[in-house]
Amino acid sequence: MINIPITKILFLDIETVGGCKDYQTCINSNPRVAEQFDKYFDWFLKRFPEDALIEENQKNKVFATRCALVPEFAKIVCISVAFVMENGDVKKQTFSNDNETQLLQDCQKLLDRCGKLEFWLCGHNLKNFDIPMMAKRMIINGLLPPSILPSYDTKPWDIKAIDTREIWQFGAYTAIGSLDLMCASMEVPSPKDGEVTGDKVHDAYWNKGMLKEISEYCERDVNVLIDIIKKLKALK
Protein backbone atom coordinates (compact mmCIF):
# COMPACT_ATOMS: atom_id res chain seq x y z
CA MET A 1 0.00 0.00 0.00
CA ILE A 2 2.94 2.31 0.77
CA ASN A 3 5.65 1.69 -1.79
CA ILE A 4 8.13 4.27 -0.49
CA PRO A 5 10.97 2.68 1.53
CA ILE A 6 10.44 3.59 5.17
CA THR A 7 14.08 4.71 5.34
CA LYS A 8 13.27 7.47 2.80
CA ILE A 9 10.40 8.94 4.82
CA LEU A 10 10.75 11.95 7.13
CA PHE A 11 7.93 11.78 9.68
CA LEU A 12 6.87 15.23 10.80
CA ASP A 13 4.43 17.03 13.08
CA ILE A 14 4.13 20.65 14.19
CA GLU A 15 2.41 22.43 17.06
CA THR A 16 1.04 25.94 16.68
CA VAL A 17 -0.52 28.59 18.89
CA GLY A 18 -2.12 31.94 18.23
CA GLY A 19 0.54 34.56 17.49
CA CYS A 20 -0.41 36.44 20.66
CA LYS A 21 -1.74 35.36 24.04
CA ASP A 22 -5.14 36.92 23.35
CA TYR A 23 -6.95 39.44 21.20
CA GLN A 24 -6.22 42.41 23.47
CA THR A 25 -2.50 41.61 23.47
CA CYS A 26 -2.60 41.47 19.69
CA ILE A 27 -4.20 44.92 19.52
CA ASN A 28 -1.37 46.33 21.64
CA SER A 29 1.57 44.48 20.06
CA ASN A 30 0.52 44.07 16.43
CA PRO A 31 -2.42 46.35 15.58
CA ARG A 32 -2.28 45.57 11.84
CA VAL A 33 -2.78 41.85 12.50
CA ALA A 34 -5.56 42.66 14.99
CA GLU A 35 -7.21 44.79 12.32
CA GLN A 36 -7.08 41.85 9.91
CA PHE A 37 -8.52 39.55 12.57
CA ASP A 38 -11.45 41.97 12.93
CA LYS A 39 -11.86 41.99 9.16
CA TYR A 40 -11.98 38.20 8.95
CA PHE A 41 -13.86 37.55 12.19
CA ASP A 42 -17.05 36.64 10.32
CA TRP A 43 -15.00 34.17 8.26
CA PHE A 44 -13.91 32.45 11.49
CA LEU A 45 -17.53 32.20 12.63
CA LYS A 46 -18.60 30.69 9.31
CA ARG A 47 -15.66 28.29 9.31
CA PHE A 48 -16.36 27.27 12.93
CA PRO A 49 -20.13 27.81 13.37
CA GLU A 50 -20.08 26.55 16.96
CA ASP A 51 -18.11 29.69 17.87
CA ALA A 52 -21.11 31.83 16.93
CA LEU A 53 -22.83 30.41 20.03
CA ILE A 54 -20.23 31.86 22.40
CA GLU A 55 -22.03 34.55 24.38
CA GLU A 56 -19.30 35.99 26.62
CA ASN A 57 -15.89 37.36 25.56
CA GLN A 58 -16.45 35.88 22.10
CA LYS A 59 -13.62 37.58 20.22
CA ASN A 60 -10.95 36.63 22.77
CA LYS A 61 -12.10 33.01 22.86
CA VAL A 62 -12.18 32.66 19.08
CA PHE A 63 -8.73 34.25 18.89
CA ALA A 64 -7.33 31.81 21.45
CA THR A 65 -8.85 28.67 19.91
CA ARG A 66 -8.72 29.33 16.15
CA CYS A 67 -5.77 31.57 15.27
CA ALA A 68 -3.37 28.64 15.66
CA LEU A 69 -5.01 27.10 12.58
CA VAL A 70 -4.44 30.06 10.26
CA PRO A 71 -0.80 30.80 9.26
CA GLU A 72 -1.25 34.57 9.12
CA PHE A 73 -2.40 34.64 12.77
CA ALA A 74 -0.40 31.72 14.15
CA LYS A 75 3.02 30.94 15.58
CA ILE A 76 4.88 27.63 15.35
CA VAL A 77 6.33 26.62 18.72
CA CYS A 78 7.42 23.07 18.00
CA ILE A 79 8.41 20.87 15.05
CA SER A 80 9.21 17.21 15.65
CA VAL A 81 10.75 14.94 13.00
CA ALA A 82 11.92 11.34 12.86
CA PHE A 83 13.21 8.81 10.38
CA VAL A 84 13.81 5.07 10.48
CA MET A 85 17.38 3.83 10.04
CA GLU A 86 18.34 0.81 7.92
CA ASN A 87 18.71 -1.26 11.11
CA GLY A 88 15.20 -0.31 12.25
CA ASP A 89 16.26 2.20 14.88
CA VAL A 90 14.31 5.47 14.96
CA LYS A 91 16.21 8.74 15.02
CA LYS A 92 14.27 11.76 16.29
CA GLN A 93 14.84 15.48 16.57
CA THR A 94 12.54 18.10 18.06
CA PHE A 95 12.82 21.83 17.52
CA SER A 96 11.05 23.96 20.11
CA ASN A 97 11.65 27.60 20.82
CA ASP A 98 9.82 30.74 21.92
CA ASN A 99 11.72 32.47 19.11
CA GLU A 100 9.87 31.27 16.02
CA THR A 101 12.46 32.59 13.58
CA GLN A 102 15.25 30.63 15.28
CA LEU A 103 13.10 27.49 15.43
CA LEU A 104 12.33 27.71 11.71
CA GLN A 105 15.95 28.44 10.80
CA ASP A 106 17.10 25.33 12.67
CA CYS A 107 14.45 23.14 11.05
CA GLN A 108 15.00 24.72 7.63
CA LYS A 109 18.55 23.32 7.53
CA LEU A 110 17.38 19.77 8.26
CA LEU A 111 14.51 19.96 5.77
CA ASP A 112 16.87 21.30 3.11
CA ARG A 113 19.23 18.34 3.61
CA CYS A 114 16.36 15.86 3.50
CA GLY A 115 15.05 17.45 0.30
CA LYS A 116 18.41 17.03 -1.39
CA LEU A 117 18.41 13.38 -0.31
CA GLU A 118 14.92 12.99 -1.88
CA PHE A 119 13.10 12.11 1.32
CA TRP A 120 9.30 12.00 1.39
CA LEU A 121 7.44 13.89 4.10
CA CYS A 122 4.82 12.05 6.14
CA GLY A 123 2.25 13.64 8.43
CA HIS A 124 -1.43 13.70 9.33
CA ASN A 125 -3.28 16.42 7.43
CA LEU A 126 0.18 17.32 6.19
CA LYS A 127 -0.87 18.76 2.83
CA ASN A 128 -3.63 20.99 4.18
CA PHE A 129 -2.00 22.11 7.41
CA ASP A 130 1.67 21.38 8.22
CA ILE A 131 3.13 22.15 4.78
CA PRO A 132 1.32 25.46 4.12
CA MET A 133 1.74 26.49 7.76
CA MET A 134 5.51 25.95 7.69
CA ALA A 135 5.95 27.53 4.25
CA LYS A 136 3.96 30.65 5.10
CA ARG A 137 5.49 31.09 8.54
CA MET A 138 8.97 30.80 7.02
CA ILE A 139 8.18 33.51 4.48
CA ILE A 140 6.65 35.73 7.18
CA ASN A 141 9.86 35.26 9.19
CA GLY A 142 12.03 36.16 6.19
CA LEU A 143 13.13 32.62 5.36
CA LEU A 144 13.07 30.71 2.08
CA PRO A 145 10.98 27.50 2.35
CA PRO A 146 13.16 24.47 1.51
CA SER A 147 12.48 22.56 -1.70
CA ILE A 148 11.03 19.58 0.20
CA LEU A 149 7.94 21.76 0.89
CA PRO A 150 5.74 21.87 -2.23
CA SER A 151 5.41 25.32 -3.76
CA TYR A 152 2.54 26.98 -5.65
CA ASP A 153 3.89 25.64 -8.94
CA THR A 154 4.64 22.08 -7.80
CA LYS A 155 2.70 19.62 -9.94
CA PRO A 156 0.45 17.28 -7.90
CA TRP A 157 2.31 14.19 -9.11
CA ASP A 158 5.64 15.70 -8.02
CA ILE A 159 4.58 16.24 -4.40
CA LYS A 160 6.64 13.91 -2.22
CA ALA A 161 4.25 13.79 0.71
CA ILE A 162 2.40 10.95 2.42
CA ASP A 163 -0.67 12.27 4.21
CA THR A 164 -2.15 9.68 6.57
CA ARG A 165 -5.43 11.60 6.75
CA GLU A 166 -5.69 11.48 2.97
CA ILE A 167 -4.90 7.75 3.00
CA TRP A 168 -7.56 7.02 5.63
CA GLN A 169 -10.26 9.00 3.84
CA PHE A 170 -9.86 6.95 0.64
CA GLY A 171 -11.17 9.84 -1.45
CA ALA A 172 -14.22 10.37 0.78
CA TYR A 173 -13.46 13.93 1.86
CA THR A 174 -16.53 14.07 4.12
CA ALA A 175 -15.11 11.19 6.17
CA ILE A 176 -13.91 11.86 9.72
CA GLY A 177 -10.20 12.64 9.54
CA SER A 178 -9.27 12.36 13.22
CA LEU A 179 -5.82 10.89 13.92
CA ASP A 180 -7.04 9.64 17.30
CA LEU A 181 -9.92 7.77 15.62
CA MET A 182 -7.55 6.29 13.05
CA CYS A 183 -5.27 5.10 15.87
CA ALA A 184 -8.16 3.52 17.77
CA SER A 185 -9.36 1.75 14.63
CA MET A 186 -5.88 0.40 13.82
CA GLU A 187 -5.05 -0.41 17.46
CA VAL A 188 -2.17 2.04 17.58
CA PRO A 189 -1.39 3.85 20.88
CA SER A 190 -3.10 7.23 21.02
CA PRO A 191 -1.02 10.44 20.94
CA LYS A 192 -3.64 11.96 23.25
CA ASP A 193 -2.37 10.02 26.27
CA GLY A 194 -0.58 12.91 27.94
CA GLU A 195 -1.00 16.15 29.84
CA VAL A 196 -1.21 18.30 26.69
CA THR A 197 -3.29 17.59 23.58
CA GLY A 198 -4.03 19.61 20.45
CA ASP A 199 -6.93 21.71 21.70
CA LYS A 200 -4.99 22.67 24.85
CA VAL A 201 -1.73 23.78 23.21
CA HIS A 202 -2.52 27.51 23.06
CA ASP A 203 -3.45 27.68 26.76
CA ALA A 204 -0.54 25.41 27.75
CA TYR A 205 1.92 27.65 25.93
CA TRP A 206 0.70 31.16 26.69
CA ASN A 207 -0.76 30.68 30.17
CA LYS A 208 1.23 27.80 31.66
CA GLY A 209 4.64 27.89 29.94
CA MET A 210 4.44 24.18 29.12
CA LEU A 211 6.68 24.13 26.04
CA LYS A 212 8.37 20.92 27.20
CA GLU A 213 5.02 19.13 27.51
CA ILE A 214 3.91 20.50 24.13
CA SER A 215 7.11 19.08 22.61
CA GLU A 216 6.40 15.68 24.16
CA TYR A 217 2.90 15.71 22.65
CA CYS A 218 4.37 16.60 19.25
CA GLU A 219 6.83 13.70 19.55
CA ARG A 220 3.99 11.31 20.39
CA ASP A 221 2.25 12.30 17.15
CA VAL A 222 5.41 11.45 15.21
CA ASN A 223 5.69 8.08 16.98
CA VAL A 224 2.11 7.32 15.98
CA LEU A 225 2.82 8.19 12.34
CA ILE A 226 5.67 5.67 12.27
CA ASP A 227 3.44 2.97 13.80
CA ILE A 228 0.69 3.65 11.24
CA ILE A 229 3.03 3.51 8.24
CA LYS A 230 4.64 0.30 9.53
CA LYS A 231 1.18 -1.28 9.81
CA LEU A 232 0.19 -0.14 6.33
CA LYS A 233 3.44 -1.40 4.83
CA ALA A 234 2.92 -4.79 6.51
CA LEU A 235 -0.45 -5.38 4.79
CA LYS A 236 -0.54 -8.41 2.48
Boundaries of every domain in the chain: 6-233
* Confidence at residue 85, expressed as pLDDT on a 0 to 100 scale: 95
CB-side exposure of 109: number of CA atoms within 13 Å?
7
Q: What is the pTM of this model?
A: 0.93
Residue 144: the pLDDT is 96
3-state secondary structure 53-105: HCCCCHHHHHHHHHHHHCHHHEEEEEEEEEEECCCCCEEEEEEECCCHHHHHH
> How many Å apart are CA 97 and CA 78, to the nearest integer?
7
Architecture of the CATH domain 6-233: 2-Layer Sandwich (3.30)
Mean pLDDT of the chain: 92
CB 33 within 8 A of CB 73: yes
pLDDT of residue 174: 73
Window from 9-13, 138-142, 147-151, 207-211 with minimum mean pLDDT? 147-151
Helix, strand, coil content of the chain in percent (nearest 5)? 55, 15, 30
CA distance 123 to 110: 16
| pLDDT confidence of residue 101 | 97
Q: What is the structure's pLDDT at 155?
A: 84
